[in-house]
Amino acid sequence: MAVKKIYKQDGNQSMKMRTWAHVLSSLILAISLFPVFNWGAVIILVSGVLIDIDHYFWYIYKYKKFNLIDCYIYFLVDVPNKNFEDALGCLLIFHTAEFLMLMVVLSFYSTYSFIFTIGLLLHYALDVIYHITVPKRVIANHSLFWWILKNKQKA
Question: Which residues are at the interface with Zn ion (CB under 5 A)?
Answer: 52, 127
Ranges of H-type helices in the chain: 2-8, 13-32, 34-37, 43-48, 54-63, 68-73, 79-81, 97-107, 111-133, 144-154
Identify residue 106 by its one-letter amino acid code: L
* Angle of helix 111-133 versus helix 13-32 axis, rounded to 10: 150
Q: Which of residues 44 and 127 has its CB atom nearest to Zn ion in the complex?
A: 127
Cα 130 to Cα 111: distance, rounded to the nearest angstrom: 29
Q: How far is the CB of 124 from Zn ion (least distance, A)?
A: 7
Q: 129 vs 149, which CB is nearer to Zn ion?
A: 129
Main-chain phi, psi angles of 91, to 5 degrees: -110, 115
Nearer to Zn ion, 36 or 129 (CB): 129
Cβ closest to Zn ion, residue 47 vs residue 113: 47
CB 91 → Zn ion: shortest distance, Å?
Answer: 13
Hey, what amino acid is at 121?
L
Q: Select the residue whose beta carbon is closest to Zn ion and give its number.
A: 127
Closest to Zn ion by CB, 36 or 132: 132
Shortest Å, Cβ 59 to Zn ion: 14
Q: How far is the CB of 132 from Zn ion (least distance, A)?
A: 14
Least gap, CB of 51 to Zn ion (angstroms): 6
Closest to 62 measured CA to CA, from 51, 74, 47: 74
